[in-house]
């Protein structure tokens, strides 16, 4: 029995039965990291000594039967989420020495159960990217094929889960950064409703779009993780004061009568035939389970990429203005005056993709262009929200591809930003509308690469999304397949 390959709920039962300890599981996870992380580079920072101490404390709780759903479970956290006393670099040189003095709310809330924090995972710099090739600390590679990208920007978290280097992980999703790498790495990844999970302690990229969410090995673990991090946080002005249900209660197989909408704009020219086949087969599985399949339309989808790449860079331009070499982070030492220090610090501290988006955003917000670009993009966003509202009058959830293709070769799109941006064409609309969605494994290409089925719900209806995902998962075994790395 490979302990690091088990799920949260499987380990929880073993802990309660006294058959294994958290220290054994944590040690197994670190052994796995030693075996494979040199190949995939999922982590930027490991905290072995601290993790073993946390595992020891968890075992003491378990012996007293003071055990929560996450007690003793090895967890990894994307390096854009603040962790007290541990580095939080955002994959950037400009924050390479930054150690937060506090925990993000999601870390603080998970700590109630005493999970084991393994370390921080690699990511595209400041969460800007779709391939985890834009990290200042080197790229991450897909465990299913080491010549391919894992998706991004949360590629490190997706790979850590897929390669059994942890049991579950946290990532962030601004335009698909959880669901896209989850699909490309063959794991479960969920973006909650905007405002459902606190953003306090999340280093900001695009405040009106991003949400923290879980990566897991199956839908049950995803629900357990969401239970731990969801809820109202008065420290976050975007957090919605709404009761959190127990998401594990949504894990029922019966979906008879559930209406599943198929948006016609998501099955278009350019969609890889193998991806389309796997997704349509997945829809057939849901139909066989008793769901009613209905056609719907999201006509503003074609404007999603354009609107996103005005709104997100504009917010990034504003948020990243704070990194000036004065308060914290990297400061260039070769300067004659204050202005030169600003310029050299930002030029040398930020990578090319972050620089590109800052320039785009600053231009879109500049005098004479604000109304032509940013204001128009916000109007498109409003129309996109209406699209989803209309669609959910006809159905309970939507089913669509998570990505237009399987994982592509590393380096293939680095010199073509537009092609890289198009990788998120099926995930960006959900961020613009603020609705929840999940990616679950639904098949493999002829080359053995994972494919993700995306299920989307209305605002705060994560329960319906999880129910449909769970019903599909229980009828298939795609999520049980593992990459071969040793």
Asked if 182 and 219 count as a contact pair (C-beta separation under 8 A), the reply is: no
Task: Catalytic residue, from 78, 120, 413, 464: name it.
Answer: 78
Q: Would you kindly state where each structural domain of the chain is located, as residue ranges? A: 3-250
pLDDT in tens, 40-49: 999 999 999 9
pLDDT in tens, 296-308: 999 999 999 999 9
pLDDT in tens, 40-98: 999 999 999 999 999 999 999 999 999 999 999 999 999 999 999 999 999 999 999 89
Identify whether 78 is a catalytic site residue: yes
Q: What is the mean pLDDT of residues 106-128?
A: 98
Asked if 143 and 128 count as a contact pair (C-beta separation under 8 A), the reply is: no
In Å, what is the CA distance from 235 to each residue of 58, 119, 176, 199, 239? 28, 25, 25, 9, 8
Asked if 130 and 421 count as a contact pair (C-beta separation under 8 A), the reply is: yes
**What is the C-alpha separation between 108 and 110, in angstroms, rounded?**
6
Task: Catalytic residue, from 4, 131, 135, 153: name it.
Answer: 153
Q: Say what the pLDDT of residue 309 is.
A: 96
According to CATH, the topology of domain 3-250 is Amidase signature (AS) enzymes (3.90.1300)
Q: Give the length of the chain.
A: 486
Task: Catalytic residue, from 154, 177, 314, 317: name it.
Answer: 177
Mean of the per-residue pLDDT values of the chain: 96
Identify whether 464 is a catalytic site residue: no
Identify whether 131 is a catalytic site residue: no
pLDDT in tens, 367-391: 888 888 999 999 999 999 999 999 9
């Amino acid at each position: 029995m490979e302990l690091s390959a088990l799920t949260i709920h499987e380990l929880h039962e073993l802990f309660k039965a006294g058959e294994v300890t958290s220290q054994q599981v944590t040690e197994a996870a670190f052994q796995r990291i030693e075996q494979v992380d040199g190949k995939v580079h999922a982590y930027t920072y490991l905290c072995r000594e601290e993790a073993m101490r946390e595992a020891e404390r968890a075992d003491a709780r378990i012996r007293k039967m003071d055990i929560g759903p996450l007690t003793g479970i090895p967890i990894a956290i994307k390096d854009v989420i603040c962790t007290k006393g541990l580095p939080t670099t955002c994959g950037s040189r400009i924050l390479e020495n930054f150690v937060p003095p506090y925990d993000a709310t999601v870390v603080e809330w998970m700590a109630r159960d005493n999970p084991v924090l393994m370390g921080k995972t690699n990511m595209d710099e400041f969460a800007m990217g779709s391939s985890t090739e834009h990290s200042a600390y080197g790229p991450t590679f897909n465990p299913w094929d080491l010549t391919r990208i894992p998706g991004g920007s949360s590629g490190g978290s997706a790979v850590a889960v897929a390669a059994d280097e942890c049991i579950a992980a946290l990532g962030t999703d601004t335009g698909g950064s959880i669901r896209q790498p989850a699909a490309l790495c063959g794991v479960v990844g969920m973006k909650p409703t905007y405002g459902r999970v606190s953003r306090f302690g999340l280093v900001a990229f695009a405040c009106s779009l991003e949400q923290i969410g879980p990566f897991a090995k199956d839908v049950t673990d995803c629900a357990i993780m969401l239970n731990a991090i969801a809820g109202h946080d008065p420290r976050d002005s975007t957090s919605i004061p709404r009761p959190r249900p127990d998401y594990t209660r949504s894990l029922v197989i019966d979906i008879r009568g559930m209406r599943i909408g198929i948006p016609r704009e998501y099955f278009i020219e350019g969609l890889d035939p193998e991806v389309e086949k796997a997704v349509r087969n997945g829809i057939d599985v849901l139909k066989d389970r008793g769901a009613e399949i209905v056609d719907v339309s999201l006509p503003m989808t074609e404007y999603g990429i354009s609107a996103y790449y005005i709104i997100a860079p504009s917010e990034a331009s504003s948020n990243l203005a704070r990194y000036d070499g004065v308060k914290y982070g990297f400061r260039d030492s070769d300067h004659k005056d204050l202005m030169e220090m600003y310029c050299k610090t930002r030029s040398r501290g930020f990578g090319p993709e972050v620089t590109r988006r800052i320039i785009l955003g600053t231009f879109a917000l500049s005098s004479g262009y604000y109304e032509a670009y940013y204001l128009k993009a916000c109007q498109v966003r409003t129309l996109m929200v209406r699209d989803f509202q209309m669609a959910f009058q006809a159905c309970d959830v939507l089913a669509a591809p998570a990505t237009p293709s399987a994982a592509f070769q590393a380096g293939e799109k680095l010199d073509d930003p537009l092609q890289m941006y198009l990788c998120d064409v099926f995930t960006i609309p959900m961020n613009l509308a603020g609705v929840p969605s999940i990616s679950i494994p639904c098949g493999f290409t002829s080359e053995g690469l994972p494919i993700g089925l995306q299920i989307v719900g209305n605002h705060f209806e994560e329960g319906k999304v999880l129910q449909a995902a769970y019903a599909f998962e229980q009828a298939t075994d795609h999520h049980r397949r593992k990459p071969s790395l040793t």
